[in-house]
Amino acid sequence: MKKITVLFVLMLAASFAFGQISLGPKVGFNTSKLSTDLSEIQSDMSNSFNFGVFLRLGKKIYIQPEVNWLTRGGVFKKPQIGDISPINQEIEMKTIEIPVLLGWRIVNFGVGNVRIMVGPSASIVTDKTVSTSSEEGFINPIKDSDLEDMIWGFNAGVGVDVLMFTLDVRYQMGLNEVMQKVEDFDFYSKSNIFAVSLGWKIL
């Protein structure tokens, strides 16, 4: 109860300090990919929906913390080379993402505005799934335990507000390796995301 009271007081103080406050739910679509420098392994994208809540504090310059639920991941493929067995593994990580964005309204057009934003994010991995091709001969070097429990990223994007609706388009660059060495493979893989979301300002 004390923590909730402190958070409420901080939100009120922030709203007075920044002069304007917006709050609401958001839903969207994201495309994610796990990078790798291994030339013999191909990395494909994975698609999923995301949803969350946002709080925007400020007028021309604003701060926007969020809490989002999304699934990220990718697909690693490697053909059979000589006696080395092929790989076809899909990775899915359900995450709670907490970005804190600094934004700037650069254009106002009466019923809305155009914004730009940047900022870091921390994603807590709540569930990990690694699926391997059911075809005969495929190996499964990547295990759930090879994946990190925390993913750090840096976001950059643009947004448009029209009346009570807010549209964001962002790219998130992974800052830490989701996995590093797996058996004989040095993946050093990072998670990168392209996301589009639509929010509704209820406050």
* Token pair in block for residue 116: 């730009």
On average, the pLDDT of the chain sits at 88
* 1 located within any domain: no
> Quick check: is 10 in a domain?
no
The pLDDT value given to residue 27: 98
Query: Residue 9: what pLDDT?
Result: 54
Asked whether residue 4 is assigned to any structural domain, the reply reads no
Whether 7 maps to a domain, the answer reads: no
Is 181 within a domain?
yes
End-to-end Cα, the chain, rounded Å:
23
pLDDT at 11 over 60: no
Q: If phi over 0 gives left and psi between -120 and 50 gives alpha, with beta otherwise, what is residue 156?
A: beta
Question: Would you say residue 8 lies in a domain?
Answer: no
pLDDT tens per residue across span 85-113: 788 899 999 999 999 999 999 999 989 99
17-46 tens-digit pLDDT: 556 899 999 999 999 999 887 777 888 999
Residue 160 placed within a domain: yes
Rounded Cα distance, 183 and 190, in Å:
18
pTM: 0.85
**Span 120-142, average pLDDT:** 90
Q: Looking at per-residue confidence, does 62 or 16 come out higher?
A: 62
Residue 95 structural domain:
20-200
What's the CATH number where 158 sits?
Answer: 2.40.160
Query: What is the pLDDT confidence band of residue 190, given thresholds at 50, 70 and 90?
Result: very high
Q: For the chain, what is the domain count?
A: 1
In a domain, 126, yes or no: yes
For residue 181, give both structure tokens.
């060495």
